[in-house]
Each structure stands twice: as C-alpha cells, then as structure tokens.
Amino acid sequence: MLSFRKMHGLGNDFVVLDGRAAPLDLTRAQIMALADRRRGIGCDQLIIMEPPPAGADVFMRIHNPDGSEAGACGNATRCIASLIAAETGKAQVVVRTIAGDLPSEARPDGLWQVDMGPARLGWRDVPLAREVDTLHVPLACGAVADPAACSMGNPHATFFVPDLDALPICEIGPRMEHDPIFPERANIGFVEVVAPDHLRLVVWERGAGQTLACGSGACATIVNANRRGLTGRAARISMPGGDLFMEWRQDGHVLMTGPIATAFIGQVDPKALAR
C-alpha cells in the first residue's frame, strides 16, 4: 500500500507522497488517477518528496492534475517544510525544486514564511513567444486586457480588473492559459486592488484550473502590482481560500507568509491506479 498525506495551504490542496526511501516511479496515468477528485484522492497538485540534494533538506517534485510537472508551488513548499521541520526539529528548512532552492522558516505565530526567490521579468524568462514588454503584454480576452507577466519559477500573467466578481474566470482562464504567446502555457491571475496594501486574487492555474489559493500567483501579484505602481512592495493578498502576506524585497526576492494544514492521512493501493 502507498501511504499518503493530504495537506493544504488555504484550500490549495496536495497529495503528498514520500519517495525518499525508494523511487515511486509513478506513471502519468497514475498521477492523474491520484489527483482525480471523483475516482482518486483528489488534489490541485501531487507532491513527491525525494532524497535531499547537497545544500537542501528535501527535494520536492510537483505534478499538476494533468500529469505535467510544475517548477514552483508556494503553498506546497510551506507544507513540505513543516513536515521536514517536524522530522528534524529544524526551524529553518531548504526545499529544493526544479526551479531552485526555497528557504523556509517557521514563525512564532504558527505561520510559515518562504523565500520564493527572485522574480524574473524578462520576456525570455517568463517565457513569452516573442519579445514584448512584460509590463504590458498585448493580450486581451473579453473584459480583460493588458496583463503584466513574470516568472516565479513558473510563468504568470496578471490581469488587473475593476470588479473581480463580475468575471467569467472559468471561460477566460483556459483561453489565456493556452494562448500562443505562452509557449509553456501560463498561470493566469485576476486581481482587484482593494487598497494600496490589500489585493484580491483569483488564479486559473496551468494544468489545474481555478484553485482556492496559489502561492506563486500571489508572488506574481505583488511583483506586477508594484511594477504598475498600484501598491507598495508589501501587501495582503486575499484569495477564495484565505490570505497570504507578501513582500517583494529590494534584492528582488519575494517573501510569502501563510498557514499550512493536514486534512487527513491514508493509504492507497497502487495496483488499483490507472497505468
């Protein structure tokens, strides 16, 4: 039997598997079966902990529900850091992903803070299909237009809108995710500025659809909002699942602070999964 832990950060939920003792070698079909909310366990991302490389405490591999691999997930990073901290007694944990190292720290208030690394702002960094100004990407769909783009280890486009509740996000999101200007697809954020230090955000995640929260999307939001002159370098980002507290430091790194939770633990029979 394959043991798992179901965790979430603000409702952005994960099936966490431990592959540190031996490789799990799951097929894409098995990953999709585990992520299926009706026939499997269900999750926004499937997370596999792998042996720690030199300089890190664990390697975190991230799979979307469609089986594709993601480079960063801020909410999952907090969850994995908390597990490693509970095992080791460390208050500071380095989680490595295919996008780089994510130093994480437990705070006295029970929240976890993650250094999500530097925001990358060049058009090749995002990446975009052609050279354009990433502060004003020539893209429009229905009531939204003129997003800003950046990379937080995965591609993000941020649309600023006057009324978040009026948007048909489930119609616009997939069209923008697959627009040809994003050769690797993109996470699409829709942001309403409430105040200079408070923003509302809904994210259509690449390969996952609309989620209750998106950590890397919140990072892209504070970066792009500050670049547009809409906020300072720190703000509360309110998403359907709750709030993250974000800061874009002067050195370019983005700090994300928020909660983690374990929903349940269990076991699943790998032989019952799709192959």
Q: Which amino acids are annotated catalytic?
A: 73, 214
Q: What is the CA radius of gyration of the chain?
A: 18
Tokens of 166: 């009026």
SS3 78: helix
CB 144 within 8 A of CB 161: yes
Among the residues of 195-262, which ranges form H helices? 215-227
CB 103 within 8 A of CB 114: yes
Cα–Cα distance between 205 and 217 in angstroms, integer?
8
Q: How many CB atoms lie within 10 A of CB 164?
A: 19
The number of CA neighbours under 13 Å toward the Cβ of 268 is: 21
